[in-house]
Structure 1
Amino acid sequence: MATLHLVPVIDEGLGNSTYLLDIGQGRALVVDPERDLREVRAEARRLGLTVAYAAETHLHADFISGVRELQHAEGATVLAPEAGPREFTHTVLHDGDTLDLGDFTLQALATPGHSPEHLAYLLLDQGRIAGVFTGGSLMVGTAGRTDLVSPDMTVPLARAQYHSLHRLMDLPDDTPVWPTHGAGSFCSAAAGGERTTTIGRERATNPLLQVSGEDAFVDALLGSLGTFPGYFLRLGEINRRGPVVLGATPALPTLSADRVKELHEQGAQIVDSRQPADFAAGHIPGSLSIALRPVFATWLGWLADPERPVIIVRGADQDPEDIVWAAAKVGFDTLAGELDGGFPTWRISRATAAGSLIEAGGMVSGAEASAAVIDIRQASEFAAGHVAAARNVELGGLAELLSDLPAGPLVVMCGHSERAMSAASILERAGRTNVTVLNGGAADWAREAGRSLETGL
């Protein structure tokens, strides 16, 4: 029996796990790699491994795949499902196919649902089940969403997902389950931070496996789905055609303030990655605030226009590599550049704008106490607990709902302040004034107001 050396490389922002498996003789299998391979490669170097195989469970919609990067740089053999044919060299696996990896054998299991072509991969050690890579089929406490292909496929794929999960339930209870999607993923992750599980645990506790019958499963799965970023509808096709191989870290050229102004006037977008307090203290008029943190890629992909150049304004302490790789993960391969010297260079001789950031106490008893409150969190977050009289307008849909917002002063809030500052910058671009951002969340308001939060929508 081989020793199982499996390393999960977790992207906290996108909510996904890439798995690096030592398959013997200095070689590795990587399952569902993202385009930003810095940590995967660091783990491989640490273990003295070269990536020999890069397997995909499905055509990913939430990130640009890294399989072509591994194929190009390391000669990795790409393994992929039969359906959804990719337009680059790969080895097609069908249901039941097996592949000798060396110390282990990989067996493909058709598990359509999250996508039509979805495969799970059973890992075998001398015929014994060592675990199963379930991608976006069976996940911790839930299953992958089925509404990413087309509206007319949502219910048929949900029915397929039902049968796929029950096929996986034929595995022994002690089988380790290694999903790709997890907490934080818009591909339908349940609450909680655990990212791996077992067949037996899911059989006993997964709510979707406690319902009776296929129709009840479909209703439960579809009823749990929230909104998702619009870029999900375009990345799958990029992954099918084959993403551009970047090789090295994408460049982020420096741009003078004059050049930034010129490009902005020509339609370029300015994305300010500094933290909310810095943005509030001063920023370039018309810029979009997206604070650099693990979820930067998600909100860049959701809020920025992929058809227009993007200029970055970052803090001196922010690593440009983190910015360009986050952008590349959601299809922004080439950024126009960054403001040379950052915002301090701009403010020397050019017009600036400022925002308003208040603590919870000011929202309770200060001048903003009478302002309309807009909570821009996801509906599920809002339903779990929100300020009385707050209105829920999700950040991802804010730009389409500007005319529906009440006139007059607004207080915008989220869980901390990052998303709320993004919303404030969108409102500023639309000409709204008297917009204040809460530096905190609903719990801070409740503590200051001495009141309980309301629940439900």
Structure 2
Amino acid sequence: MQVITIETASLGDRSYIVHDGRVGLVVDPQRDIDRVVEAARSAGVEITHVAETHVHNDYVSGGLTLARVSGATYLHAADEPLRFDHHAVSDGDVIDVGSMRVEVRHTPGHTPHHLSYVVTAAGDAPAAFTGGSMLYGTVGRTDLIGSDATDELAHAQYRSVHALADSLPDETLVYPTHGFGSFCASAVSDRESDGTLGGERSANIALTADDEDRFVAQLVAGLDAFPTYYAQMGPLNTAGATAIDLSPPAPVDPVELARRIHRGEWVVDLRPRREFASTHVSGTIGVELAGGFSTYLGWLLPWGMPVTLLADDADEISEAQVQLVRIGIDRPTGAADGGIDSWSADADRSSYEITTFAGLREVRGPTILDTRRDGEHAAGHLEGSTHIPLHELLGRLDEVPDGTVHVHCRSGYRASIAASLLDRAGHDVVLVDDSFDDAAESGIALVGPDAS
């Protein structure tokens, strides 16, 4: 038995192909299934089964499309109200995939109908594909389907992880879908996991908690905001996602670009944040094409808002499209590449300054905006700063202080998006493009339990 891991770092998720050298089972595939198809082809493996651990809340699944193009059997929880053909499975069901035995386990918590799949083959350690249930050192969050069910699902999550651990040997290899930066993860452990169930017994917060109630309290206390686009993922996955179209968007010339900006549409510049700050088309929004691109654009973009993409070259537009289809933003309404000189005249451009925490230290009485999440701010923040998390900024623009606003986050990435939104709204901004770890070293006064 072999396992191929297909990582989607931009969303903090992993998909897997588990195979016996001849046929394979794909677990929790992302929507851009070409990566899965190519990995299976390279391994000489026929995809005969596709399995979902749950109806995903953080991305649009590629499972239905993959099952259709490969002719594979599509496994999904029997209790889910799905609106497409699939092979319904329940706790205790066993499916043979070549020489491998796949046992279905009901592991509610992350979602009510969540499943894990335990795969065994002669001579190999078991492999547990745990989706959003048991993660490395932690578990999946339990508040994504509604706050009313959070505590009940947290209790279920504790019991599911214990039941799974109690039934499998220490050498079992654990393969979670979430937990690699995904907002689907909950409170973090202070211990490293080695990827085995034995390692999880000493590292996982559910397996090391004193009792169930204390675990639930810890898990719930660790929950923070999650992207608003998550609300759209469940319905899309329940209905069954269509195949993606990654053909180039319609080209947009400078005149049409200006019209779209004037109408209030989102025109998103993908260039590095320092290049955007140096010069950009007035009214555009800077979201650097990096690991957090789709997460933060999807979090901020009003659902259904037309979006136009700007980049230096067509490959960057293509990469942005791939990231966006994973969260259900299927077709940009247009795009322009070739660099800023091909998008606009000099008269239509804006800019703002960039500094560091050391530079901020030299400013007399600066007005500071902290755009980190609530938990980050509570742990330690700059004395006298105003706190508005990035994901709340558009709804709280009236709370932004007057005058020149110095905007920071933990690394500069979120602050750069916030600075572009404030610039678009007419504020005078300075981007603090620096690591928050450097704030204290720069001599800036911090307050909070983690301040030093």
The match for 2:209 among 202, 211, 219 is 211
**Which residue of the partner structure matches residue 397 of structure 1?**
392
CA distance in 2 between counterparts of 1:382 and 1:208 reads 26
The match for 1:165 among 161, 164, 171 is 161
The match for 1:12 among 2, 9, 12 is 9
1:175 and 2:172 are equivalent in the alignment:
yes
**Which residue of the partner structure matches residue 416 of structure 2?**
421
Which string of whole-angstrom CA distances, capped at 9 and with x for unpartnered residues, describes residues 86-114 of structure 1? 21121111100010001211110000110
Q: Is the 1:412–1:438 Cα contact (8 Å) retained in structure 2?
A: yes
The match for 1:406 among 394, 401, 409 is 401
Structure 1 alignment gaps of length 5 or more: none
Q: Give the CA deviation at 1:371.
A: 1.4
CA distance in 1 between counterparts of 2:194 and 2:372 reads 27
**Which residue of the partner structure matches residue 231 of structure 2?**
233
**Which residue of the partner structure matches residue 351 of structure 1?**
348
**Which residue of the partner structure matches residue 333 of structure 1?**
330
- Classify 1:297/1:130 alpha carbon distance in 2 versus 1 (closer, same or farther; 3 Å): same
Q: Give the CA deviation at 1:141.
A: 1.2
Q: Give the CA deviation at 1:228.
A: 0.2
- Classify 1:456/1:408 alpha carbon distance in 2 versus 1 (closer, same or farther; 3 Å): farther
The match for 1:443 among 431, 437, 442 is 437
**Which residue of the partner structure matches residue 101 of structure 2?**
105
Q: Among all aligned residue pairs of Structure 1 and Structure 2, give the percentage whose two residues are the same amino acid.
A: 34
- Classify 1:427/1:192 alpha carbon distance in 2 versus 1 (closer, same or farther; 3 Å): farther
CA distance in 1 between counterparts of 2:189 and 2:393 reads 24
CA distance in 1 between counterparts of 2:192 and 2:422 reads 36
CA distance in 1 between counterparts of 2:35 and 2:376 reads 30
Point out the more displaced range, 179-188 or 248-257.
Answer: 248-257
The match for 1:55 among 51, 54, 69 is 51
CA distance in 2 between counterparts of 1:194 and 1:358 reads 35
Q: What TM-score does the superposition give when structure 2 sets the normalisation length?
A: 0.92
Q: Is the 1:385–1:453 Cα contact (8 Å) retained in structure 2?
A: yes
CA distance in 1 between counterparts of 2:280 and 2:298 reads 21
The letter for the 2-side match of 1:48 is G
CA distance in 1 between counterparts of 2:326 and 2:417 reads 20
CA distance in 2 between counterparts of 1:321 and 1:232 reads 23
CA distance in 1 between counterparts of 2:444 and 2:394 reads 33
Q: Alignment partner of 2:54: what SS?
A: coil
- Classify 1:293/1:31 alpha carbon distance in 2 versus 1 (closer, same or farther; 3 Å): same
The letter for the 2-side match of 1:233 is A
Q: Is the 2:254–2:344 Cα contact (8 Å) retained in structure 1?
A: no
Q: Give the CA deviation at 1:382.
A: 3.7
Q: Give the CA deviation at 1:416.
A: 2.6
- Classify 1:135/1:193 alpha carbon distance in 2 versus 1 (closer, same or farther; 3 Å): farther
- Classify 1:355/1:432 alpha carbon distance in 2 versus 1 (closer, same or farther; 3 Å): same
Q: Is the 2:416–2:433 Cα contact (8 Å) retained in structure 1?
A: no
- Classify 1:91/1:293 alpha carbon distance in 2 versus 1 (closer, same or farther; 3 Å): same
Point out the more displaced range, 35-44 or 143-152.
Answer: 35-44
Q: Give the CA deviation at 1:301.
A: 0.8
Q: Is the 2:131–2:175 Cα contact (8 Å) retained in structure 1?
A: yes
**Which residue of the partner structure matches residue 94 of structure 1?**
90
Q: Give the CA deviation at 1:126.
A: 4.1
The letter for the 2-side match of 1:276 is R
Q: What TM-score does the superposition give when structure 1 sets the normalisation length?
A: 0.92
- Classify 1:349/1:363 alpha carbon distance in 2 versus 1 (closer, same or farther; 3 Å): closer
Q: Is the 2:286–2:417 Cα contact (8 Å) retained in structure 1?
A: yes
Q: Give the CA deviation at 1:236.
A: 0.7
The letter for the 1-side match of 2:332 is L
- Classify 1:321/1:38 alpha carbon distance in 2 versus 1 (closer, same or farther; 3 Å): farther
Structure 2 alignment gaps of length 5 or more: none
Which string of whole-angstrom CA distances, capped at 9 and with x for unpartnered residues, describes residues 227-255 of structure 1? 10011111111000011212x52432211
CA distance in 2 between counterparts of 1:288 and 1:50 reads 44
